[in-house]
């Protein structure tokens, strides 16, 4: 069977790539070993958001009196919460199936392995092998939970994010190792459900890739919600011989043992580049990543790679953008390399975090003379009315030319607001242009304009 393009992996990188390739007139096949939609739709982005929505509704019920409402007896059904999340994921996966049919993309289920000569062997569940060939092969095999040497995952007491989504029973206590997006989101979910949660973070701040002000606000919010936060701390070893987990945690004060029912290892991800034929084909890799040029071509002609297996931010929207750019280049369209300095990052805990561009510290280290503006949601009418006044918007501009260097938000709904900054930065919008762009009132989004005004000493409401 011969195709113009075969895509290996059907996550948000793979399936989006396949659809765009089909739109451009290519004959396309996609190889998937498990479920269409990959980790994001089935075990990542989408089902976690369903869990977090249940947590949000439960929190609203617990605080109904704050809104002048009286609610009778209520409780959560943990199994039903998990089931809803799985149903949402299944529905999204079926949606991708529909898109494959609509775009006339052939879906081949099985484990794929690239071979020399632009071929792929696909082994199905019964062990039968089918050989496919194409003019171009795009590797989009994604990533999985990284297993830390001192935290071997048994899937029961020491788990990764996948098991955390489908626990048969709600644990009474949980240790979360790592406070990136995955760690903080699960910590928030389980804490909201009533689990006693402890976060252990190796770095000095939680969500360490974020602006320092955002990190400090998130730590305050986590502690306010009842989560124990340990920074500058590391789990040295775990003992799972008893009923639960005993974690030996090293801090500046020494070592202490923390006990919990379950430990969630959220220390990052590992690219899926093993046993997919890279060595046989001669495709170059470095430090767990496939090496590619600006248009995602590997060192071997006809082989491309996108998403979590290549250098760059391991985010669903990045994988999609890379795949689209890759096949548009193959089709001969004029494309520009992706600007990895203008990629938004989002964390969906409560409060949410959204950011793009340089942090204040990074801007200063690069030698910029900067103007910084900050607008607290405590001064936002919409935030106060909705009962979500924690957080702020922080903007950073180059003092000389007004270039928008960075935007950092923490608060309710900010993941839906960050796109304004992404588009504005791409269009080289200045701080004054943001200030003079009329924002609707009352909205959370007007905090962006207010923060820009604060940077230029023109802010009205603080």
Residue 192 domain-assigned (yes or no): yes
Band of the pLDDT at 293, cuts 50, 70, 90?
A: very high
Tell me, yes or no, whether 131 and 280 share the same domain: yes
Residue 110 domain-assigned (yes or no): yes
Band of the pLDDT at 402, cuts 50, 70, 90?
A: very high
pLDDT over 70, % of the chain: 100
Tell me, yes or no, whether 133 and 275 share the same domain: yes
CATH number of domain containing 448: 3.30.390.30
- Predicted confidence (pLDDT) per residue in 212-262, tens digit: 999 999 999 999 999 999 999 999 999 999 999 999 999 999 999 999 999
What CA–CA distance (Å, rounded) separates 115 from 118?
Answer: 6
Average of per-residue pLDDT across 277-306: 97
Q: 232, 267, 302 — which closes off a domain? A: 267
Give the DSSP H or E segment for 374.
Answer: strand 370-376
Exactly one of 63, 408, 439, 441 is catalytic; which is it? 441
Long-range contacts of 99-106 (CB under 8 A, 24+ apart): 99/15, 99/19, 100/15, 100/18, 100/30, 100/36, 103/18, 103/19, 103/22, 103/23, 103/28, 104/22, 104/28, 105/18, 105/19, 105/22, 105/28, 105/29, 105/30, 106/3, 106/28, 106/29, 106/30
Query: Residues forming the annotated binding site for FAD?
Result: 49, 112, 308
Tell me, yes or no, whether 251 and 334 share the same domain: no
- CA atoms within a 13 Å half-sphere pointing along the CA-CB vector of 292: 26
**pLDDT, the chain, mean:** 96
Please give the pLDDT value at position 204: 96
Please give the pLDDT value at position 40: 83
208 token code pair: 């360490």
Residue 132 domain-assigned (yes or no): yes
Q: Which residues of 197-206 are buried (b: 16+ CB within 10 A; e: fewer)?
A: bbbbbbeebb
Band of the pLDDT at 145, cuts 50, 70, 90?
A: confident
Please determine, for residue 391, whether its predicted confidence score (pLDDT) is greater than 90: yes
Query: Residues forming the annotated binding site?
Result: 49, 112, 178-185, 201, 268, 308
Tell me, yes or no, whether 166 and 247 share the same domain: yes
Residue 151 domain-assigned (yes or no): no
Please give the pLDDT value at position 268: 84
Q: Does 63 qualify as catalytic in the annotation? A: no
Band of the pLDDT at 325, cuts 50, 70, 90?
A: very high
Give the DSSP H or E segment for 4.
Answer: strand 2-8
Please give the pLDDT value at position 267: 85
Residue 438 domain-assigned (yes or no): yes
- What torsion, rounded to 10 degrees, do the Cα atoms 360, 361, 367, 369 define? 30
Q: What's the alpha-carbon Rg for the chain, to the nearest Å?
A: 23
Band of the pLDDT at 143, cuts 50, 70, 90?
A: very high
Tell me, yes or no, whether 332 and 360 share the same domain: no
Backbone torsions φ then ψ of 373, nearest 5 degrees? -125, 140
Tell me, yes or no, whether 310 and 184 share the same domain: no
Residue 381 domain-assigned (yes or no): yes
Please give the pLDDT value at position 333: 98
Q: 216, 240, 267 — which closes off a domain? A: 267
Q: Which of 436, 409, 411, 412 is nearest to 421 (CA)?
A: 409
Please give the pLDDT value at position 192: 97
Q: 318, 340, 362 — which closes off a domain? A: 340
Please determine, for residue 149, whether its predicted confidence score (pLDDT) is greater than 90: no
Tell me, yes or no, whether 19 and 81 share the same domain: yes
What CA–CA distance (Å, rounded) separates 450 from 335?
Answer: 35
Q: Which of 401, 453, 407, 455 is nearest to 430 (CA)?
A: 401
Find where tokens 């998937």 sit.
32
Query: Domain range for residue 47?
Result: 2-144+270-340
Strand ranges (DSSP E) for 399-438? 404-411
The residues facing 8 across adjacent strands are: 31, 139
Please give the pLDDT value at position 1: 76
Cβ–Cβ under 8 Å, residues 164 and 261: no
CATH number of domain containing 228: 3.50.50.60
Average of per-residue pLDDT across 167-191: 96
The number of folded domains in the chain is: 3
Residue 213 domain-assigned (yes or no): yes
Tell me, yes or no, whether 82 and 184 share the same domain: no
Average of per-residue pLDDT across 71-81: 95
The residues facing 373 across adjacent strands are: 395
Alpha helices in 208-315 (DSSP H): 212-224, 278-281
Tell me, yes or no, whether 58 and 176 share the same domain: no
Tell me, yes or no, whether 215 and 236 share the same domain: yes
Tell me, yes or no, whether 211 and 253 share the same domain: yes
370 token code pair: 């900067």
Residue 346 domain-assigned (yes or no): no
What CA–CA distance (Å, rounded) separates 448 from 146?
Answer: 36
Tell me, yes or no, whether 139 and 14 share the same domain: yes
For the residues of 303-346, what is the DSSP string, one character each? EEE-GGGSSS---HHHHHHHHHHHHHHHTT-------GGG--EE
């Amino acid at each position: 069977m011969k195709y113009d393009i075969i895509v290996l992996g059907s996550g948000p990188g793979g399936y989006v790539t396949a659809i765009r390739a089909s739109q451009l007139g290519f004959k396309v096949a996609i190889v998937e070993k498990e479920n269409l939609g990959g980790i994001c739709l089935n075990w990542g982005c989408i089902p976690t958001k369903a869990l977090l929505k249940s947590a949000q509704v439960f929190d609203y019920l617990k605080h109904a009196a704050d809104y002048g409402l009286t609610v009778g007896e209520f409780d959560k059904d943990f199994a039903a919460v998990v089931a809803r999340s799985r149903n949402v994921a299944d529905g999204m996966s079926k949606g991708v199936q529909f898109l494959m049919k609509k775009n006339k993309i052939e879906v081949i289920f099985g484990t794929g392995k690239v071979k020399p000569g632009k071929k792929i062997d696909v082994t199905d569940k019964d062990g039968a092998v089918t050989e496919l060939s194409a003019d171009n092969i795009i590797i989009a095999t994604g990533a999985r939970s990284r297993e830390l040497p001192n935290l071997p995952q048994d899937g029961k007491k020491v788990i990764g994010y996948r098991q955390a989504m489908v626990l048969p029973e709600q644990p009474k206590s949980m240790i979360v190792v790592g406070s990136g997006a995955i760690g903080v989101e699960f910590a928030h979910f389980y804490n909201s459900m009533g689990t006693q949660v402890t976060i252990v973070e190796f770095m000095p701040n939680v969500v360490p890739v974020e602006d320092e002000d955002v990190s400090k606000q998130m730590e305050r919010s986590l502690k306010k919600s009842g989560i124990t936060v340990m920074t500058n701390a590391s789990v040295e070893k775990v003992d799972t011989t008893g009923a639960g987990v005993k974690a030996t945690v090293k801090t500046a004060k020494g070592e202490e043992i923390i006990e919990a029912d379950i430990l969630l290892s959220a220390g990052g991800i590992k690219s899926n580049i093993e046993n997919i034929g890279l060595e046989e084909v001669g495709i170059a890799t470095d430090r767990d990543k496939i090496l590619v040029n600006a248009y995602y071509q590997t060192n071997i002609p006809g082989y491309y790679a996108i998403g979590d297996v290549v250098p760059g931010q391991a985010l669903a929207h990045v994988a999609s953008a890379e795949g689209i750019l890759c096949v548009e280049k193959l089709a001969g369209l004029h494309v520009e390399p992706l600007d990895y300095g203008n990629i938004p990052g989002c964390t969906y805990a409560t409060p949410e975090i959204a950011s793009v561009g340089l942090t204040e510290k990074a801007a200063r280290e690069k030698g910029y003379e900067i103007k910084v503006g900050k607008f607290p949601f405590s001064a936002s009418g919409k935030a106060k009315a909705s009962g979500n006044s924690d957080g702020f918007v922080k903007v950073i501009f180059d003092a000389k030319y007004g270039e928008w260097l960075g935007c950092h938000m923490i608060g309710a709904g900010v993941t839906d607001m960050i796109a304004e900054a992404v588009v504005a930065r791409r269009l080289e919008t200045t701080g004054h242009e943001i200030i003079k762009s009329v924002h609707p009132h009352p909205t959370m989004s007007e905090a962006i304009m207010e923060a820009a005004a604060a940077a230029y000493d023109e802010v009205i409401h603080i």
